Amino acid sequence: MIKANQTETQDGSESNADQRRRVSLRQRLPSYQQYVDGILKRDRSILAQAITLVESSRREDREMADRIIESCLASTGQSIRVGITGVPGAGKSSLIEALGRFLVNDCGQTVAVLAVDPTSEISGGSILGDKTRMMSLAASNAAFIRPTPSRGSRGGVAHHTREAILLCEAAGYRNIFVETVGVGQSEVAVHEMVDFLLLLVLAGAGDDLQGIKRGVMEMVDLVAVNKADGENLPAAERTRAEVENALHFFPKASSGWAPRAIVCSAHTSLGIPAIWTSILEHHALTKANGWLDCTRNEQKRHWMHSAIEQGLKQLFNADPAIRDRLEALEREVIAGKTTPLHAAKTLLEMHSLQDSNRPIDPTRPKG
Ligand code: GDP
């Protein structure tokens, strides 16, 4: 059943009311040139609208977003990109706000804050999406806070964040913080789009480094033990020493950087300048030894490949012939009449056969 506030019907098409709303909204949207000029002039409202285009799954929005990004490309790449990860409640938002305020107020810097939330691909919206975030930082003109995508298109939330990074850079933000709010794959996703990964942990929350996966520890450049204030300070110091010790067991990073562990407090600002110093030292080192350029090039290559995979998946899933056959084959697999591999091969062959018979249509949706 279609609910009154639903944008898409269950088959993915739009209700009439939503269509009318969209058309009337579109008439009030900026033109392509207004988007590009607005972004380059750091108009925060235009930048926010452009990121909304980037997050949209509608073909015309995507096409406009692609044109805008292309036009902004020459003004990108100048920022320091920092990923911030940690379990919910570790204090990521609070720390970003404290660090952002320090940068804006004490260092005269500009800051943009974005979020990667792979959970919104599944749930259609983040559970943290409504959280009022970083109010005091958001009030500053030198800062831009993009709340968690409230309704990511199916697939590609990480792609949207990458594109949002480029738009923020074009708008002149020199420090981009990407916060992970999802679980599981989010550290990997964020690691693939930043220069520096900061992991927040809490004191005394376990001897096994709070279940942090080995893979995550191998990616981090700095571990900050947060909430090192009041009575918690000695325990935070102990955890810092344990983490520091653990970091020695990992092989040296290819960047030449030796990961560190520090204590910090988003509430008292303890350790905030030290976090910033680490980020700057890492940036200077990796710029000088070529690692930064090399990694960013590799990230772009990887991004392209993952966009191809995602686009192919979308085309496959949208293929009516596949949809017709999929359920029957699923039943056959479950009934043991065919193997999962054979069923998959049948569908893939059906799809590629359809594709090779289809005339090339340049207006087909992009991935
Ligand atoms: P996130 O879920 O990782 O973004 O965590 P939040 O920033 O929302 O913080 C979770 C809770 O921890 C909030 O109640 C914060 O006020 C609290 N918190 C965050 N940083 C600190 C800190 O440095 N010290 C103390 N004592 N509490 C903190």
Q: Please tell me whether residue 79 adopts helix, strand or coil conformation.
A: coil
Convert 224-243 to b/e letters by CB count within 10 Å (16 or more is b): bbbbbbeebbebbeebbebb
- Listing DSSP states for 14-26 in one string gives BPHHHHHHHHHHH
Tell me the CA distances in angstroms from 344 to 206, 306, 322, 334, 339, one per residue in order.
Answer: 43, 20, 11, 13, 9
- Our mutation pick for probing the ligand 1 site, out of 85, 94, 136, 232, counting the most ligand atoms within 8 A of Cβ, is 94
Neighbours of 80 (CB within 10 A): 19
Distance separating the N- and C-terminal Cα atoms of the chain: 28
Token output for 251:
């092989």
Ligand 1, residues at Cβ distance < 6 Å: 86, 88-94, 226-227, 229, 265-267
For residue 145, what are the contacts with CB-CB under 8 A and spacing of at least 6?
112, 113, 133, 134, 137, 138
d(CA 270, CA 280): 18
Taking the CB of residue 212, how many other CB atoms lie within 10 A of it?
A: 20
For ligand 1, atom 27, which residue shows the shortest CA distance? 227
Backbone angles phi, psi at 82, to 5 degrees: -120, 130
Q: Which residue minimizes the CA distance to atom 9 of ligand 1?
A: 91
Superfamily covering domain 76-287: P-loop containing nucleotide triphosphate hydrolases (3.40.50.300)
CA triple 86-88-90, angle to 5 deg: 60
Helix (H) or strand (E) holding 167, with range, is: helix 157-170
Sequence ranges of the chain with CATH classification 3.40.50.300: 76-287
Distance from Cα 90 to the centre of ligand 1, integer Å? 6
pLDDT for residue 247: 87
The pLDDT tens digits along the chain (367 residues) read 333 344 445 554 567 777 766 666 666 789 999 999 999 999 999 999 999 999 888 889 989 999 999 999 999 999 999 999 988 889 999 999 999 999 999 999 999 999 876 655 555 444 444 445 678 888 888 999 987 664 444 445 678 899 999 999 999 999 999 998 755 667 888 889 999 999 999 987 555 555 566 778 888 999 999 999 999 999 999 999 988 988 888 888 889 999 999 999 999 999 999 999 999 999 999 999 999 999 999 999 998 998 898 888 888 988 888 888 999 999 999 999 999 999 999 999 988 877 666 655 444 444 3
The residue whose C-alpha atom lies closest to atom 22 belonging to ligand 1 is 227
Tokens encoding 222: 């700095």
Residue 30 and residue 38 in contact, taking contact as beta carbons nearer than 8 Å: yes
Percent of the chain as helix, strand, coil, to the nearest 5: 55, 10, 35
- Delimit the CATH 1.10.287.130 region(s) of the chain: 298-357
Tell me the one-letter amino acid at 15: S
| CB neighbourhood size of 308 (10 A) | 11
What's the half-sphere exposure (Cβ side, CA atoms, 13 Å) at 138? 12
Instruction: Report how far ligand 1's centroid is from the alpha carbon of 229 (Å).
Output: 12
Q: Please give the CATH topology (third level) of the domain spanning 16-73.
A: 1.20.5
| Cα 266 to ligand 1 centre (Å) | 7
Tell me which fold the domain 298-357 belongs to: Helix Hairpins (1.10.287)
The packing angle between helices 157-170 and 291-318, to 10°, is: 130
Q: What is the CA(89)–ligand 1 centre distance, in A?
A: 6
Tokens of 264: 């910090």
The pTM for the full model equals 0.82
Distance from Cα 95 to the centre of ligand 1, integer Å = 8
Residue type, 269: S
Phi, psi of 114 (to 5 degrees): -125, 170
Residue 132 Cα to ligand 1 middle (Å): 13
Q: CA-to-CA distance for 264 and 282, rounded, in angstroms?
A: 18
| Residue-level pLDDT at 13 | 58
Task: Calculate how far, in angstroms, residue 349's C-alpha sits from the geometric centre of ligand 1.
Answer: 51
The pLDDT value recorded for residue 39 is: 97
Please count the other Cβ atoms lying within 10 Å of the Cβ belonging to residue 349.
10
Nearest CA to ligand 1 atom 25: 227
Comparing CA positions, the residue from 326, 320, 306 lying closest to residue 355 is: 320
- Supply the residue whose CA is at minimum distance from atom 17 of ligand 1: 91
Cα–Cα distance, 221 to 257 (Å, whole number): 7
Ligand 1, closest atom to CA 90?
3
Closest C-alpha to 265, from 225, 221, 212, 297? 225
CATH 1.20.5.170 domain locations along the chain:
16-73
The SS3 of residue 2 is coil
pLDDT at 366: 44
Helices (H), 248-319: 272-288, 291-318
Ligand 1 atom having least distance to the Cα of 226: 23
Separation of alpha carbons 234 and 204, rounded Å? 10
